[in-house]
Structure 1
């Protein structure tokens, strides 16, 4: 039986970042059964992650592969010959820069053409079209990948720029002295205890909202959101632009700030802020149920501001607590 072949796509903000990204991904895929979070990467999982869960940047590279080893070999070739584009296309590597697509939205006949290319195994033509900016809806082209869960892959290098209010004046670097590490004022466990205490004193309906606020704040920092902007709680983590690395960092924040260690795949199993917050609220409540304590305040104990924050569903639950 012939192995299934898929188009793989990567992109970055600059040519240098694309080359570094390709080299890093080649090394990762060439390792003996790349593993992360307890799972072994497969070609369908890698294809689903790259095609359906990564945003497109201007500098693009597309290729087709039937195995992870073939994909790694092609990516390595790109890293070696990126300075000579004429050598790339004959080896099934299609690299272009797309600042703004010249194509309009996909029409029905365009979609039929893309599906016909996939059905006739003309994957290189699909790769070539995507590399020049044609809007390929990979979920329609490869519907079998819809059931694949995203896998960990090395993230693309960050493209950071410095912005100066005026021309920099050249001069000798200022001499600085290395300060001694600051002494910790608060014990290590004080922060988790403080957050857990805050959650414990909140009524059940407000716990999820408080955790949502916490997750929104940390995700906004991880993704460098402008000040005052927060991610939507109902958007998928990958739709927000997060990678597997971001999810691992978020998990570490949760562990550090609550003392609770969620499963490594919990963010994949609950893939939105709202769903993850509900999961964490349930797990944290379960951890604290064994400890006796005063009853939590009910709806009549909430202030007007707290009541205004309740969603219709949360308000219904709070009323049910009062009437029970």
Structure 2
């Protein structure tokens, strides 16, 4: 990867990073440090020749929104920026101890500075700091919530186009209510609730996930596994309530580490009794690809336990497996008597 250099050897810029939580900030800093250091995996650096320090600075300063958890630093090269980011990940237990290393971290839920009240002399002062090379002071001011107009401070970056950087998770929230739990769950199990360890034990036949997957057609099985993986990863990466990771982004791009992947693998083993290979996450590096892989493997894993049937269901009261329900074999009256759920499963089985 080309490390890129500013037009002047002495050029130095402030780099700003923010996220919605301390865990998200740390995960993103870890991913960005790896990206700037050079990731050997193919396809991880779109247009690597465009990744220069001015391009990275312009992207972070002018094309990223500010979130409560902030980190600011200054750098003259991409290598220096990567080294500082790595240093930050090594001091996450006490972020404030990073200041001697030129890393300024703070949490700003509500700034005490009034952005509308920033006078022209304040802007001139910020410009003077940049002109005199006092970038550390600029980083400190931004980290404590001072409203810095970076386009005014670094006018040379205005013409820089944004470059690809690992994405920061968006703050997307869902606002529809959760389905209420069945009343019978509180009455029939209140006296003797199932042991939590038993529910998570590999091979447990009462596993809710395995039960849900048993009779689903291929398309719905993959969709259910996508939901399962999104929920597990959202918890591990501390996503806000209602926010879920994209299914088409790589695990690395989501901010996951090998530890996170190992935790997901253990959850799969506990919930399905199937043990993915150690390299499965690298061979299927997105949630969608991994869900398709799991769907295939789980189907093969349970194939011997499912009795084959060539019979055709002729109505809603028949006892044959639901996957044999094919609309073109039924009469109009039979189709009219099908429930919406059975009809949807039959149609998906035909087109999948």
TM-score when normalising by structure 2: 0.48
1:3 to 10, 24, 43: 10
> Are positions 1:19 and 2:26 aligned together?
yes
Q: What residue in structure 2 maps to residue 40 of structure 1? A: 50
**Change in CA separation of 1:131 and 1:38 when aligned onto 2, cut-off 3 Å:** closer
Q: What residue in structure 2 maps to residue 321 of structure 1? A: none
Q: State how far apart, in whole Å, the 2-side matches of 1:86 and 1:137 are.
A: 25
Q: What residue in structure 2 maps to residue 176 of structure 1? A: 212
Q: After the TM superposition, which of the residue ranges 98-107 and 58-67 deviates more from structure 2? A: 98-107
Aligned pair count reads 185
Q: What residue in structure 2 maps to residue 114 of structure 1? A: 126
| Aligned partners of 1:14 and 1:159 also within 8 Å | no
Q: State how far apart, in whole Å, the 1-side matches of 2:136 and 2:173 are.
A: 34
**Change in CA separation of 1:2 and 1:59 when aligned onto 2, cut-off 3 Å:** same
**Change in CA separation of 1:21 and 1:7 when aligned onto 2, cut-off 3 Å:** same
Q: State how far apart, in whole Å, the 2-side matches of 1:132 and 1:74 are.
A: 19
Task: Indicate the SS of the match to 2:218.
Answer: coil
Q: What residue in structure 1 maps to residue 62 of structure 2? A: 52
Offset of residue 162 of structure 1: 8.0
Offset of residue 109 of structure 1: 1.2
Q: State how far apart, in whole Å, the 1-side matches of 2:30 and 2:180 are.
A: 35
Q: State how far apart, in whole Å, the 1-side matches of 2:125 and 2:180 are.
A: 52
Q: State how far apart, in whole Å, the 2-side matches of 1:38 and 1:120 are.
A: 31
Q: State how far apart, in whole Å, the 2-side matches of 1:78 and 1:182 are.
A: 43
Q: What residue in structure 2 maps to residue 135 of structure 1? A: 147
Q: State how far apart, in whole Å, the 2-side matches of 1:85 and 1:23 are.
A: 14
Give the CA RMSD over aligned residues.
3.0
Offset of residue 86 of structure 1: 3.8
**Change in CA separation of 1:131 and 1:75 when aligned onto 2, cut-off 3 Å:** same
TM-score when normalising by structure 1: 0.52
Q: State how far apart, in whole Å, the 2-side matches of 1:54 and 1:73 are.
A: 22
Q: What residue in structure 2 maps to residue 290 of structure 1? A: none
CA deviation digits over 1:191-219, x for unaligned, max 9? xxxxxxxxxxxxxxxxxxxxxxxxxxxxx
Q: State how far apart, in whole Å, the 1-side matches of 2:180 and 2:103 are.
A: 40
- 1:224-235 equivalences under 5 Å are none
Task: Indicate the SS of the match to 1:9.
Answer: strand
For structure 1, list consecutive stretches of 5 or more residues without a partner in the other structure.
184-244, 246-324
Q: What residue in structure 2 maps to residue 61 of structure 1? A: 71
Q: State how far apart, in whole Å, the 1-side matches of 2:19 and 2:58 are.
A: 18
| Aligned partners of 2:13 and 2:57 also within 8 Å | yes
1:149 to 149, 161, 165: 161
For structure 2, list consecutive stretches of 5 or more residues without a partner in the other structure.
1-7, 187-192, 200-206, 221-252, 254-352
